[in-house]
Structures are given as C-alpha cells and as structure tokens.
Amino acid sequence: MTITKITDGHVTTPRGFVAGAVCAGMYAGGPKAGAFDLGVLFSERESVSAGLLTTNTVRSAPVYVNEKRFPAGRIRGVITNSGNANAPFGDAGIAEAEAMAALAARKLGVAEEDFAVCSTGITGVVLPLEKIEAGVPRIELSAQGGPDFARAIMTTDTVAKEVAVAVKDGDRVVYTLGGCCKGSGMIHPNMATMLAYVTTDAAVERELLQTLVRETADATFNMVTVDGDTSCSDTLLVMANGAAGGETIRAGTQQAQEFAEALLMLCTELSRKLAADGEGATHLITVEVSGAASRAEARNVAHTVALSSLVKTAVAGNDPNWGRILVAAGRSGSPVAPAKTSVTLQGVQLFECGVALEFDEEEVHEKMKRPEVVIGIDLGVGDAKATAWGCDLTVDYVHINADYRT
C-alpha cells in the first residue's frame, strides 16, 4: 500500500460525506462580516466515530454536549458556527448547543444524539440562536461542500486549512481520509486541537479508531503551539463510514498499521497548517528533537522550545541566536546536558557537545528568511525523537488580540 496526498483534497473528499455552509450573520463587523459562519458536515451512511475534547476547566457549552455523545461512537454529523464560542454560560448555553444539534439532526433526519456541535469565536457573549435557526434551513449539502465548511469555521485564520490523502494498492484507491481544522490563536493544545474534523470512507473498528485518534493527536495536534493558551472549545472529531467497501480494519493487523500511517500523515499536514497560520506569523517553526532518553522527554523539549517567546522573536528577526534555543531546552524539565547536546538551525550546526562552532552568521540569517525555520536538537542520550510546530512572534500578534473586541 502507498499513501499519497490528494491535490485539492478536503473533508468531503472521502465517499459518503457531504457538507455546506451559509452566512448566518454571526459577525457584526470586521473582515469576516458577510462570510460563511455556519456549517454542517454529515455522513450519508451510519458511521463510527472517535474524538477528544479540551482539558480546560472553563469549557464552552458544546464541549459538555459532545462529552455525553462521543463515548457512544456513533456521531455522523457536526454543526459548527464561528463568531461566538457559546462560553461560559452554564445550563443556558448547553440548552442552546443542544438546540443547534437538534436543528441539524432534524434537517438530515437522524437522531439528535448522532450530531455533535461546536462553536468558536468570542467568549462572554450570548449565542444568537435565532440567527442559527434562520441559517440552518438555507444550508445546502453536497460532496463538494468541504471547502465552504472549512471557511465557515475560521475566526482569525487567514486561510482555510484542509487536506486529504489516499491509501492505494497500485493505482487503485482503497480508501481516503479528508480533514479540515481551524486555529490561529489560543493554540497550545492539551488534548487535540482548536476545532478539527477528519473523515474517512474506510470501515474501522470503533475501539481501534479511538486508540489511533488519541495516539495521533499526541504526536501531531498536541505538538502545536502558537501562544501557550488553550481554548475552551477544543474539539477533534473523526468519523469513519465504510463507504469505500472492504473489510473492517481491526487492531493488530497490517491494515490497521496502514490506516494509522495515513491518519498520521493527514493530521501532521493539518498541524503544520495550524502553526504556519498563527496570528501575525511570518515563519513556521519546526523543532526536531532527537537523541532523547524517551519520547515523552523528546516531546517536552520540542514543545518548550517551540513555545519560547525568546526563540519565537529571534526567528521573527531572522537571528541565529542558538543560545536561546539551548536555554529554552534546558528549562523544559527534561534532562538536557550541554556537553552531550548539539543544535542545528536551517541545517547548519551551531553548537556541538558543549562547544560553540564557528559559522557564517550572514548565511544562516539569510536562510532564516525562508517561510519555514527548522531547529534541530540532539540530546545525545538515547534514540527517542519528536517534532513540534510553532510560529514566530511578531507585533501583529499583539495588535490582533488587542483589537479582537474593540
């Protein structure tokens, strides 16, 4: 089997999934006024599902609804709005979230429990449910509706984030996976990501799907950081409807390994898109840690360096200040011995086992002007490795968040 990226693929590329979006008027002004802000994604067949939710103790109302519905593993649709997070309003907010899901479920003729619900946007403002009630009947769903749905979930995002991959046997497509996500600020996941939806027309055992979703999130979405803030709405939902045919993929098989690789590829692409579109960002930062004693320690170092404000500002200024990288690694809480550690920047080795190396600073400065800056850290104590993604920190980040409401 081979896994390939599908050109112009999106969340409804897999067979049996449809989506659509409308402008419900959730934005009173600003750049998204008049744009899509309410969308529905739906499987035309029964599906199995798996998902993860935010660990933030201040949670949006939809998170409480999804928390009750996800364990059954039968979600086949989601309704999502941007512009308002429906948080934190307790029982009143939960009632509105349940009403949203009910509107979508009635439109598609399925049980309310088969629909998830998500809201993203400003907190502390009551959800205008009447706008959603007026918008849902206008949503037209189709297999080409994935891109519209991806745009509807955007808030401060500058681009829609979507991708699809195909698992092939020779030239024959066995099944596909598609996905979309949103997130630009408040990105420091501790479960999954801001809002992310993955679909597949493969048939997958539900218990296996949940295991793979958690493992994949730990290696991808949980390794993205923009600003250290975790959203109250974070949700990852994966739906598998079996529309491609074939036997159900079960744990412990070669097919399970292949599906895991495809899911990892798709979620890695989405994670990179999240980091690259961080608020005010001009660079994607990729931190590759190797030589760690354990995967947990490698992930901890990679995440800490990607989050470091001093590293992020150095990247913004194209400054090859490797000292900031090493110091950030050292405060991660994982053992970092300078005498065993090496640091590279854009493929140029700057520090090796306690020794600062001579390098052409102007050459590295120029290489750092590329859209992606790759930081390599070899801890020199083991074989474990991990990758984290972040972005640089610019003055535009401050302006975006200072002006978010006013």
**Which residue type, as a one-letter code, is found at position 354?**
G
- Alpha-carbon span 284 to 279, nearest angstrom: 11
Three-state secondary structure readout of the chain: CEEEECCCCCCCCCCCEEEEEECCCCCCCCCCCCCCCEEEEEECCCCEEEEEECCCCCCCHHHHHHHHHHHHCCCCEEEEEEEECCCCCHHHHHHHHHHHHHHHHHHHCCCHHHEEEEEEEECCCCCCHHHHHHHHHHCCCECCCHHHHHHHCCCCCCCCEEEEEEEEECCEEEEEEEEEEECCCCCCCCCCCCEEEEEECCCECHHHHHHHHHHHHHHCHHHECCCCCCCCCCEEEEEECCCCCCCCECCCCHHHHHHHHHHHHHHHHHHHHHHHCCCCCCCEEEEEEEEECCHHHHHHHHHHHHHCHHHHHHHHCCCCCHHHHHHHHHCCCCCCCHHHCEEEECCEEEEECCEECCCCHHHHHHHCCCCEEEEEEECCCCCEEEEEEEECCCHHHHHHHHCCCC
4 classed as catalytic: no
Catalytic residue among 80, 193, 216, 286: 193
| Residues designated as active site | 193
